[in-house]
Amino acid sequence: MRCPKCSSTDTKVLETRAGKESASIRRRRECIACGHRFSTIEEILREDAMVVKRDGRRESFDRRKIITGIRKATEKRPLEFEQIELLVSEVMKRLENEYDVEFPSRAIAEAILVRLQRIDEIAWLRFASFYEDYRDAEDFSRGIADMGREQSE
């Protein structure tokens, strides 16, 4: 494991914990060279997973794309990296339980939206505005009204 601060590969594990429902392992590490402490998360990767796009195209599943999309939505919001990692793990678990090896892009987005709404409404709206392709203030207003209706149910 490389240190994110100095790129040294000489690190030691300080603590190891099972993630939520033992689907992942979280390790707290320390760089021997510079003393920087950081966390890593280990998960099983599904090499054969595919995403079925809206237009029917298929492409290899890339977990990093989910993280990138969530990070854009949560930019300048009070969310920690570990919250994002937990959200991604929950999304992955749902997809793996519900689908075999092909995940519809719509199912991925909906799983993210459900979890984001519980964590941060602004991030939810940002993610929804991209995924739902809001084009004007009226679309945003509808999205906010929908969110209000869902919360009251």
Amino acid at 65: K
What would you report as the CA-atom Rg of the chain, rounded to the nearest whole angstrom?
18
**Cβ-contact 112, 94 below 8 angstroms:** no
pLDDT of 28-57, one tens digit each?
999 999 999 998 888 766 668 899 998 999
pTM tops 0.85, yes or no:
no
What pLDDT sits at residue 126? 87
Residue 80: helix, strand or coil by DSSP?
A: coil
CA distance 134 to 68: 20
What pLDDT sits at residue 16? 92
What pLDDT sits at residue 147? 64
pLDDT of 111-153, one tens digit each?
999 999 889 988 988 888 877 767 777 877 777 777 666 655 5
- With CA atoms as reference, report the closest residue to 127 among 147, 146, 151, 109: 109
Amino acid at 134: Y
